[in-house]
Amino acid sequence: MKVFLAAAVLAVATHAQAGDVFRPGAIWPDDKGVHINAHGGGILQHDGVYYWFGEHKVAGTAGNRAQVGVHVYSSRNLTDWKDEGIALAVTDDPASDIVRDAIIERPKVIRNAKTGKFVMWFHLELKGKRYDAARAGVAVADKVTGPYVYQGSFRPDAGAWPVDVKPDDKDAATSFLARDFAGGQMSRDMTLFVDDDGKAWQFYASEENHTMHVSRLTDDYLRSAGQYARVKPNGDDEAPAVFKHGGKYYLVTSGLTGWAPNAAKSYVADNPLGPWTALGNPVRGTPEQQKITFGGQSTYALTLQRNGCTRHILMLDVWRKENAIDGRYVWQPVEWEDGKPVVRWRDQWTLAEMDKLPCDGPGAMGGNR
């Protein structure tokens, strides 16, 4: 009976995703009929194909740690995805940072136009150390789907002060920023953004998750360059998703409530280094939807250029802590309201329907290209 019910649910879900239809929160089968396993992920568009990288989960609470690695899928229409396998695999070598049972979260991949390399960054926690390491891990590949070769991990911007540092920030007795100055800043929930000029930026939750940092990467995208800023000191922001529109930079984050969903936040700036201005909760809907962001948490903002208009899709993850493999994906189109990005709940939608939403101009194209 269980097998029959599972097959029936999968058949319904498969039909629901057919015809280029997005079904937020539903089972999302890949080309093999298996629910897509790419949690906390991001999208890279390369040579006309979209590549979705994310955390590969397994059943139960063990899935909250890395048992397999980073999964990658490919698509040409964003709804039908082909399983391309494991892009970055964990190892059984106990001396490695990415040994099985370490924590690998929120992987993002960008391509370096100068070197031709594909560069993956992710939040890394060492095996058995809970969330104390708070490091950024880096891996590199010659082919978009991998295999990616692990390059090491570190805390960003060691020995550097942010561009907006204040005298009180340098007091190690009261400041996490000063405490971590020599060894590098804590790096947890993160995303990457490549600007029109080719400069790449890492957005990451730092200072015990109380302050979001924005850090420029080196020209090869393999390290932090020592130039960074703080979005809102002690703003309690994590789960960054960033995009560019009309020459301005927009950031969506969540608050700090562990695995439980909370109200989203949004910011705008004229420069990645700020200053960043708070725009409030971008969710429109019922009080409950606004309170818990449709039950999800931001992980990435996908930018598309369609019919002369810059469009964006906000990607959210619905986490299932007790059964990680059953995590769901909520993708919703970004709309504009009084110059602010907003998202509304749609049970289902298509790219063609998104194209009918009001567009305030072509804007500027930015993102992971």
Instruction: Tell me the per-residue pLDDT of 245-263, one tens digit each, with 9 for 90 and over.
Output: 999 999 999 999 999 999 9
* Statement: residue 11 has pLDDT above 70: no
* Statement: residue 12 has pLDDT above 50: no
* Statement: residue 13 has pLDDT above 70: no
* Share above pLDDT 70 across residues of the chain, in percent, rounded to a whole number: 92
Average pLDDT of the chain?
A: 93
* Statement: residue 280 has pLDDT above 50: yes
Neighbours of 337 (CB within 10 A): 11
pLDDT of residue 7: 35
- Could you report the per-residue pLDDT of 26-78, keeping only the tens digit for each? 999 999 999 999 999 999 999 999 999 999 999 999 999 999 999 999 999 99
* Pairs from 11-16 (Cβ < 8 Å, separation ≥ 24): 16/348
pLDDT band at 19 (very low <50, low <70, confident <90, very high): low
Q: What is the DSSP-derived secondary structure letter of residue 78?
A: S
Tokens at residue 152, please?
């090491």
pLDDT band at 14 (very low <50, low <70, confident <90, very high): very low
Tokens at residue 57, please?
């989960």
pLDDT of residue 4: 29
- Could you report the per-residue pLDDT of 205-236, keeping only the tens digit for each? 999 999 999 999 999 999 999 999 999 999 99
Q: Please indicate, yes or no, whether the overall pTM of this predicted structure exceeds 0.85.
A: yes
Tokens at residue 334, please?
């970004």
- Please confirm whether the linkage preceding 107 is cis (ω < 30° from 0): no
- Could you report the per-residue pLDDT of 86-119, keeping only the tens digit for each? 999 999 999 999 999 999 999 999 999 999 999 9
- Find the range with the poorest average confidence among 3-7, 291-295, 341-345, 346-350: 3-7
pLDDT band at 359 (very low <50, low <70, confident <90, very high): confident
pLDDT of residue 360: 72
- Could you report the per-residue pLDDT of 153-175, keeping only the tens digit for each? 999 999 999 999 999 999 999 99
pLDDT band at 201 (very low <50, low <70, confident <90, very high): very high
For 242, half-sphere exposure in the C-beta direction (CA atoms, 13 angstrom radius) is: 31
Residue with tokens 């570190």: 154
Give how far the C-alpha of residue 363 lies from the chain's centroid of Cα atoms, to the nearest Å.
Answer: 22
